[in-house]
Amino acid sequence: MTTGPSLTEGDEPERLQKVLSRLGIGSRRASEILIAEGRVVVNGTVATLGDRIGPGDELAVDGVVYTTRPDVVVYLLNKPAGVVTTASDPEGRPTVVGLVPPEPRVVPVGRLDLETEGLLLLTNDGTLTHRLTHPSFGVEKEYLAEVEGSPSRQALRRLREGIELDDGRTAPAKVSQIEPGAVRITIHEGRNRQVRRMCEAIGHPVRRLVRTRIGPLADRTLRPGQSRRLTDDEVLGLQRAIGSPR
Ligand code: URA
């Protein structure tokens, strides 16, 4: 049996402002103001001060839904190189879906190239998948790129400001050099082979690429090939990160 994120700590209904403050939406006082302003909706009805919510209730603040659906699972996988980001591969190569429990069935959220390593989410939640992959929601993805040579400051500035690729100019990126041949790059677009093409365009092809963060999620303890269920707080944090489109 699977259990989804729970908004409340126990089985008993709790005061709404207590739950809102635990979710990090605001202090209790600030949460009371949100409720009074009619910005908090429980199970489709605008909440009022004094309302309580329990497990299974659906909460939305300014249109951002915090779900308690018990059937939702989200895995965080540390994808090794050489594993395909699909559910099944006609060539019989190992797939990311083969690295997580078979039931309930989940699909990868977006895609990492065959040779790219690092963090990948898999879920059976279609809304989460859509929002995490759609550029308008702008979820940040951070990569560590080991590149050939050592990019100059000017080359790094080009990465930062946006680069003309054959499918258009890239949006501004966060870029920092960690050591001469290693660059941390944070983007929120997710086009096909984007980081590899950006580095290629500045004359420093990628030798190794690792995704180190997805929105608020990072985990340095997961070994390659290992996965784990997200905690309730992580799922709620993710929902907050993808709350509203840019
Ligand atoms: N950018 C790439 O070039 N490859 C990936 O797998 C992810 C981002």
Asked if 91 and 44 sit in the same domain, the reply is no
Q: Which atom of ligand 1 is nearest to the CA of 190?
A: 8
Which has the minimum average pLDDT: 74-83, 160-169, 194-203, 229-238? 229-238
In a domain, 120, yes or no: yes
Asked if 28 and 118 sit in the same domain, the reply is no
Q: What pLDDT, in 10s, does the model give residues 56-74?
A: 788 888 887 776 566 789 9
In a domain, 43, yes or no: yes
The dihedral through the CA atoms of 178, 204, 108, 186 has a sign that is positive
Structure-token match 């069935």, residue found: 105
The one-letter amino acid code at 217 reads: L
Asked if 83 and 60 sit in the same domain, the reply is no
In a domain, 2, yes or no: no
Output the pLDDT for position 184.
98
d(CA 246, CA 243): 10
Asked if 200 and 233 sit in the same domain, the reply is no
Percent of the chain with pLDDT over 70: 93
113 is catalytic: yes
Residue 104 has pLDDT above 50, yes or no: yes
In a domain, 6, yes or no: no
68/134: higher pLDDT:
134
What's the whole-number mean pLDDT along residues 156-179?
Answer: 97
Q: Which atom of ligand 1 is nearest to the CA of 111?
A: 6
Say which CATH number the domain at 36 has: 3.10.290.10
Asked if 150 and 202 sit in the same domain, the reply is yes
CA of 193 to the centre of ligand 1 (A): 4
d(CA 20, CA 145): 38
Q: Which atom of ligand 1 is nearest to the CA of 115?
A: 6
Q: Which atom of ligand 1 is nearest to the CA of 197?
A: 3
Output the pLDDT for position 137.
79
User: Which of 51, 89, 113, 232 is flagged as catalytic?
Assistant: 113
Helix (H) or strand (E) run with residue 117 in it: strand 117-123
**Minimum CA distance residue for ligand 1 atom 7:** 112
CA of 195 to the centre of ligand 1 (A): 5
142/136: higher pLDDT:
142
| Nearest to 51, CA basis, from 8, 9, 7, 16 | 16
What's the whole-number mean pLDDT along residues 158-185?
Answer: 97
Which residue intervals of 106-212 are DSSP H helices? 126-133, 153-161, 194-201
Residue 2 has pLDDT above 60, yes or no: no
Say which CATH number the domain at 178 has: 3.30.70.1560
Q: Among 112, 132, 142, 146, name the best residue to mutate to test ligand 1's pocket (greatest count of ligand atoms within 8 A of Cβ).
A: 112
67/102: higher pLDDT:
102
Q: What is the total count of domains within the chain? A: 3
Output the pLDDT for position 1.
30
Structure-block tokens of residue 242: 């993808």
Burial class (CB in 10 A: 0-12, 13-18, 19+), 118: buried
In a domain, 155, yes or no: yes
What's the whole-number mean pLDDT along residues 182-191?
Answer: 94
CA of 166 to the centre of ligand 1 (A): 16
8, 22 in Cβ contact below 8 A? no
Q: How far is CA 70 from CA 2, 41, 74, 245, in A?
A: 7, 20, 11, 25
In the predicted model, what is the mean pLDDT of the chain?
89
In a domain, 228, yes or no: yes
The range of the structural domain enclosing residue 49 comes to 14-67
Q: Which residues contact ligand 1 via a Cβ below 6 A?
A: 112-113, 116, 193-196, 209
Asked if 122 and 223 sit in the same domain, the reply is yes
Say which CATH number the domain at 88 has: 3.30.70.580
Asked if 82 and 118 sit in the same domain, the reply is yes
What's the whole-number mean pLDDT along residues 120-134?
Answer: 88
pLDDT band at residue 81 using 50, 70 and 90 as cut-offs:
very high
pLDDT band at residue 4 using 50, 70 and 90 as cut-offs:
very low
Asked if 46 and 28 sit in the same domain, the reply is yes
